[in-house]
Copies of this chain bind each other. A is one copy, B any other.
Amino acid sequence: MTDITGKSLIAGTWVTPGGTEFHSFNPYTKSAFNSFTSCGGAEIETAMTAATEAYHQMRQMDGATIGEFLSTVADEVEALGDTLLETCDAETALGLIRLTGERGRTTGQLRAFAAIASRGEWVEASIDTAIPDRAPVPKPDLRRMMRGIGPVVVFGASNFPFAFSVLGGDTAAALAAGNPVIVKGHSAHPATSELFAVAIEKAIRKTGFPAGAFSLLQGANRELGTELVKHPATQAVGFTGSEGGGRALMDLAAARPQPIPVYAEMGSVNPVFLGPQTLKNTGDAIAAGLSGSVCMGTGQFCTSPGLAVMLEDTAFESAMKTAMDAAPRGHLLNPRIQASLVGGFARLESIAGVEWLNEADFEEGSMTPPNAVFKTTGDVFLQQKALSEEVFGPVTLLVVCTDENQMLEVGNSLQGNLTGSVHADDDPELAAELIQMLEQKVGRVIFNGYPTGVEVCPSQQHGGPYPSSSVSWATSVGADAIERFARFVAYQATPDHLLPPALRNDNPLGIFRKVNGDLTRDKIPGTEK
């Protein structure tokens, strides 16, 4: 817990910016500690200028060099040892077990993107060979691949201080694609952020990587983020957080002279649909699983299941009540989330026709909220738009419908969601209809499972229709997260030695490429172009 300097890392130099002072906050003790100051225009300008220069250098690197750098970053994160876990626990109350797991995920992501960068297959190389004697005009040789887009601004998330923060998935993906990253550290865990910057600074020195490839700008003011998004050198933004925050960045980016993409993952209510027959047969197991998912991490996940859509089933209701009461109370991350959860409870309680099944005290200022299960009818839900808004915390709402059609109607009434779950093994017709409905509403359909716990793998889709994400095709978890930070460049009739390795005739990377429309690892006969 020592050695926190309160500085920001600007392109290889530790600086003490002159902006507003702010502090770490300990949710266990409700006390402030450490001292930080916020970055402003000068730090932004230095970071962005260095990032632009680093981008030019990174464009010339091969994937293996970038891969080696990312692996070294992962090593240096591990070298921070228990200090990282303890510092973060003191800032977030997430607990050492969860943070140990999240650290493993974070270094795992860094190493996965190291492997992706080294392998080089992510660029989706495609080659169409020339047909010089085609009539009426010759067909030129055309080759296409993805290239990094330039400096990427990443906003750290409060609820994942490791995996979606300074060296989280967005940073790893952006670097792997060959882009410098400028992180706006989250003000709820600045000491944790500083430690990650220490790790990457060491990796930069060890590998001789350009110092401008990474900057951490600490700050507690909204203006810092605004100015980073508006800076002309910024070419894309990664964000994980609230719908309000994400939409503000989207609007800023869209209004720039050069609009840029904002990849914002903004969370959702993650509905769970429970078939009546399935609930009758396995309701106790579902109550155990669902309550576990709702309460996990004090409900502070973007995939926390906030809605359970079902028919009347008093046995299940009672099992849910019992399970939620039995779950120990957890800690909230910070006072802002606490205030927002207090507001969420008030909203639910203010709506006629909504019942708090296991009403309990939530003392003023308490950081340990009750695990709450509410209940309403499908009719009320369909009339009250506010009920489909996310309540960030250990809260779920049972929506008891009149029949299966109303269950589908409730689903169709929802906005975009990250996930939608189905438990309907014993309701096969309903299962098929639910899946068809959910495909249009969510990024990930889950069968017989719960939405928390996002597997990091190539087939993962963590992103869904707005407002769960800003860009519905994109994922912020898994291998394809890299594609957000790249664009295609085609090369027409370009001499082999001037092409990037991925497009050269002899396929030096040995990657799959689309050659005249078909995937193959074959070389191209070295014809004169």
Q: Which residues of B contact A146 (CB under 8 A)?
A: 473
Is A439 positioned at the interface, with any CB of B under 8 Å from its CB?
Answer: yes
A149, A259, A443, A480, most chain B CB atoms within 10 A:
A259
Q: Which residues of B contact A255 (CB under 8 A)?
A: 251, 254
Is A355 positioned at the interface, with any CB of B under 8 Å from its CB?
Answer: no
Q: In angstroms, how far is the closest chain B Cβ from the Cβ of A481?
A: 11
- In the bound assembly, the distance between CA atoms of A258 and B126 in angstroms comes to 34
Q: In angstroms, how far is the closest chain B Cβ from the Cβ of A173?
A: 14
A440, A443, A490, A529, most chain B CB atoms within 10 A:
A490
Contact of A458 among B440, B443, B446, B514 (CB under 8 A): B514
- In the bound assembly, the distance between CA atoms of A48 and B480 in angstroms comes to 32
Is A356 positioned at the interface, with any CB of B under 8 Å from its CB?
Answer: no
Q: Which residues of B contact A140 (CB under 8 A)?
A: 449, 455
CB contact under 8 A between A475 and B488, given known A140-B455, A142-B457: yes
A137, A140, A486, most chain B CB atoms within 10 A:
A140
Interface positions of A from 409 to 454, Cβ below 8 Å from B: 415-416, 431-432, 435-436, 439-440, 442-449, 453
> Which of A76-84, A319-327, A387-395, A462-470 touches B?
A462-470
Is A147 positioned at the interface, with any CB of B under 8 Å from its CB?
Answer: yes
CB contact under 8 A between A431 and B144, given known A128-B457, A449-B493, A465-B487: no
Is A20 positioned at the interface, with any CB of B under 8 Å from its CB?
Answer: no
- In the bound assembly, the distance between CA atoms of A140 and B259 in angstroms comes to 38
Q: Which residues of B contact A260 (CB under 8 A)?
A: 466
**Does B473 lie within 8 Å of A142, measured CB to CB?**
no
A140, A149, A487, A512, most chain B CB atoms within 10 A:
A487
Is A483 positioned at the interface, with any CB of B under 8 Å from its CB?
Answer: yes
By size class, the interface of chain A is 35 or more
Contact of A139 among B139, B440, B455, B461 (CB under 8 A): B455
Q: Which residues of B contact A126 (CB under 8 A)?
A: 458-459
- In the bound assembly, the distance between CA atoms of A471 and B101 in angstroms comes to 37
- In the bound assembly, the distance between CA atoms of A488 and B66 in angstroms comes to 27
**Does A493 lie within 8 Å of B461, measured CB to CB?**
no
7 closest Cβ contacts across the A-B interface? A254-B254, A461-B490, A142-B459, A473-B487, A144-B459, A444-B490, A126-B459
**Chain A residues within CB distance 8 Å of chain B:** 59-60, 101, 126-128, 136-137, 139-140, 142-144, 146-147, 149-150, 250-251, 254-255, 258-261, 415-416, 431-432, 435-436, 439-440, 442-449, 453, 455, 457-461, 463, 465-467, 470-473, 475, 479-480, 483, 486-495, 498, 512, 514, 516-517, 519, 529
